[in-house]
Amino acid sequence: MHHLDFLGKAKYFVPISITLVLISWLLIIPAVRGLRLGIDFTGGTEFTVDFDKPVSTADVRSVLAAIPSPINLSQSIIQDVSGHNRKVITTQLDVEANQDTINRIESTLKDKFAISNEISRKSIGQEVSKELTQKGWQAILLAFVVILIYVSWRFRMRYAVGAVVALIHDVSIALGAFALFHIDINLPTIAAFLTIIGYSLNDTIVIFDRIRENMKIERKSSVFDVINKSVNQSLSRTINTSFTTLIPVIILFFFGGSVLRGFSVALLIGVIVGTYSSMYIANPILYAWSLKTAKAKKH
């Protein structure tokens, strides 16, 4: 068994984590960087176009700019699909109010470029997108509340607070990365965030359960030593689980295509940060709370 001083090194890692979380929150602010929401949450129309030969993004953008529209189509998001002459064009045209413009975009693209297949189209109305936005964030908030209640009942409040703070840390850093690199947030991304919450919590609970067992067995040992020993006892399981989880996530990142890119990026960040937070965020909070409780009992 390893005998690494995880809790002792927390004094170096906790300030780094606080800095990363604050930077992430700063990046999320629209005036600084802001999150780029997909049409699932903003409403709009997405075109998937298969060209017969390579076409530059600048050419597509210039053609879109010449089409009469209530919005500036030259500012549309145009993504390349690697390995294909395919582009995904995302606009904020509401399908209910701009059907003529949407049809004009399709016909203009067919006239200006050689397109063999039919243009695939995905449209989401404004009302539907608002409902999806509300439901998505409600799902994440509900997950935090249920976790807080369950861990408090299953363990103690100090364990629950440590677990929830670690989850907020993980999701915040993932959102900061999405804001920094302007990766679209859509429904698959929300699913990835919920997966991050579940994965990180699972790893934290395993360590907490070992801490609780060791607290009963080694009553004469200090809380510091018990937590350190528990993390070391769970280390091989944590590393093996994280490594085996990363393998399919990395494969999904490289071969999943642009549609699943946000999903795979969120999982990739979540697995790495979730493993880290289980050892260097949740446990220091548990330790600090335990010391405060012990001092209160003495007084």
**pLDDT tens-digit readout, 111-137:** 888 887 888 888 776 666 677 778 877
Q: What span, in angstroms and rounded, lies between the C-alpha atoms of 86 and 89?
A: 10
Domain count within the chain: 2
Does the pLDDT of residue 35 top 90, yes or no? no
Do 187 and 260 fall into the same domain?
A: yes
- Domain annotation covers residue 1: no
Q: What span, in angstroms and rounded, lies between the C-alpha atoms of 4 and 225?
A: 11
Closest of 278, 149, 286, 153 to residue 205, by C-alpha: 278
Helix (H) or strand (E) holding 50: strand 44-50
- Residues 160, 295, 8: CA angle, nearest 5 degrees: 65
Q: What span, in angstroms and rounded, lies between the C-alpha atoms of 104 and 120?
A: 14
Distances (CA, A) of 53 to 58, 108, 120, 258: 15, 17, 18, 19
CB 211 within 8 A of CB 226: yes
pLDDT, mean of residues 68-72: 82
Buried b (16+ CB within 10 A) or exposed e, 12-45: ebeeebeebbebbeebbeeeebebbbbbbbbbbb
Q: How confident is the model at residue 258 (pLDDT cuts 50, 70, 90)?
A: low
- Domain annotation covers residue 145: yes
- The one-letter code for the residue type at 188 is P
pLDDT at 127: 67
Q: Where are the alpha helices (DSSP H) in the chain?
A: 6-28, 39-42, 57-65, 99-112, 126-154, 157-181, 187-217, 223-255, 261-280, 282-298
Do 162 and 237 fall into the same domain?
A: yes
Q: What span, in angstroms and rounded, lies between the C-alpha atoms of 61 and 83?
A: 21
Task: Domain of residue 283: give its range.
Answer: 6-37+128-298
CB 190 within 8 A of CB 216: no
- Domain annotation covers residue 294: yes
Domain end marker among 124, 148, 167: 124
Do 144 and 240 fall into the same domain?
A: yes
> Which range is least confidently modeled, 131-145, 196-210, 218-232?
131-145
- pLDDT above 70 coverage of the chain, percent: 95
pLDDT, mean of residues 5-16: 89
pLDDT, mean of residues 162-191: 88
Q: How high is the mean pLDDT of the chain?
A: 84
pLDDT tens digits, one per residue of 36-65: 887 777 778 888 888 888 888 888 888 888
Do 210 and 154 fall into the same domain?
A: yes
Does the pLDDT of residue 1 top 60, yes or no? no
- Domain with residue 48: its CATH number is 3.30.70.100
> Which range is least confidently modeled, 83-87, 105-109, 233-237, 244-248?
83-87
pLDDT tens digits, one per residue of 265-285: 999 998 999 999 988 998 999
pLDDT at 19: 96
The total of other beta-carbon atoms located within 10 Å of residue 133's CB is 17
Does the pLDDT of residue 82 top 70, yes or no? no
